[in-house]
Amino acid sequence: MYTEMKTPGASGRLRELSFYEGKTVLITGHTGFKGSWLCRILSLAGAHVVGYSLGIPTDPGLFPLAGLEQDVTSVTGDIRDMEKLDGVFDRYQPEVVLHLAAQPIVRESYRAPRDTYEINVMGTVNVCECIRRHDCVRSFLNVTTDKVYHNNEWPWGYREDEPLDGFDPYSNSKSCSELVTHAYINSFFGGNKVEASFGRAGKRGAVVPASTARAGNVIGGGDFAADRIIPDCVRAAWAGVPIKIRNPRSTRPYQHVLEPLFAYLMIAARQAEDIRYAGFYNVGPDECDCVTTGDLVQLFGKYWGDGFSSVICQDLDAPHEANFLKLDCSKLKSVFGWAPSWHIEKAIEKVVEWSKAYLDAKGACSRSKEDASGRSKAMSEADSRALTSSVREVMDRQILEYAQASGTKNSFRSC
């Protein structure tokens, strides 16, 4: 389904993203958790955002809750449908492509390994092939994961030159997605070199700056996915039941969702202006913010307050997941002068802030849709608008607060 291109609003609220003002940006997987936040950031920056996604991945979903359909030109389609995706490139001629579409859950990859590989590997092939065929693209970023590395359970962080060999079907499919991107860079996009090379459609001189970003575990308001610790905490707190912790000692590089999203936009903007910035980057928190799942749950309880509790409930029959995983982000810091802005406590505080604002607004709407006898009725249009307004308000406030906190150190204005 195609919709007409939406006109961006005023961009003065996010000057750090002035590169994107008026540019057409294609986001695959735009209706997911990260994609929804990214759509709102780019909308505030004045970009023409085109999204390609196979519907809303969760119920509820952040994309409809935040009313993002009014900000974005949405195309409903499967990333495995090459013909449909190629038509989107033909019609909208994107200048920047941000590839987020994926099957992102480790446990789901054990249940459906074939689908996971088809989506995460052939989906990447299809995106790269569309870029190869279209001269409009000036910058490409493939978002993968910290789990692409061969995990040795080391106490130090993995660097970008470590072997790519994820253990489970999800992690391994993302390793493959990285290798697909590398092959297209070397074979068709000019090898990220300033001098001309074999380019798109076999023409010399057609160079596409392309990078991959390997992000750690993201947390933030509006994540409703199953089998993720923070969404599970929110659901448990709201229901008044203890959260069950499967792996309390597992260590992960947790970060607020705005950290990697602003980094992605920084990389894509900088490489469009200077191809020497293109490369492969880890995007994660500082060492002090790599915490155990148990510590993360305790922090959540600290900021949530009364009504939250937890219980350790290890599943001995659970599929394999890494126990210890860290990223070394020295390259991103040295190349761009980047640094995280919100440490783990601030990240948890913002998750709780968003979640309580949403749940309070949802509760108010639920009360308003009960008739005199206490029976429920359908949510009114006014209640729906009120809920969307509350969600957008807290999203915008957090985005602008993060942009202010990151300041000039993470700025990527157009030169």
What was the pLDDT predicted at 206?
63
Question: What are the pLDDT digits (tens) for 7-31?
Answer: 444 333 466 699 999 999 999 999 9
User: Alpha helices, DSSP H only, in 134-228?
Assistant: 169-187
Question: What are the pLDDT digits (tens) for 97-110?
Answer: 999 999 999 999 99
DSSP state of 8: P
Give the CA diameter of the chain: 74
Separation CA 245–CA 249 (nearest Å): 10
The dihedrals phi and psi of 15, each to the nearest 5 degrees, come to -65, -25
The dihedrals phi and psi of 123, each to the nearest 5 degrees, come to -60, -40
Within 8 A by CB and 6+ apart from 300, the residues are: 230, 233, 308, 348, 351, 352
DSSP per residue over 92-150, as a string?
H--SEEEE--S---HHHHHH-HHHHHIIIIIHHHHHHHHHHH-TT--EEEEE--GGGB-
CATH 2.40.128.20 is held by the domain 15-219+254-283: no
Kindly tell me the sign of the dihedral angle through the C-alpha atoms of 93, 51, 100, 123: negative
Question: What are the pLDDT digits (tens) for 195-210?
Answer: 544 444 444 346 899 9
* Contact assessment for residue 271 and residue 137, using Cβ atoms and an 8 Å cutoff: no
Residue 365 pLDDT > 90:
no
* Contact assessment for residue 164 and residue 178, using Cβ atoms and an 8 Å cutoff: yes
Q: What residue spans define the domains of the chain?
A: 15-219+254-283
Note the Cα 338 to chain centre separation in Å: 18
Question: What are the pLDDT digits (tens) for 316-352?
Answer: 566 656 667 899 999 999 999 999 999 999 999 999 9
Instruction: Round to the nearest angstrom and report the end-to-end CA distance of the chain.
Output: 37
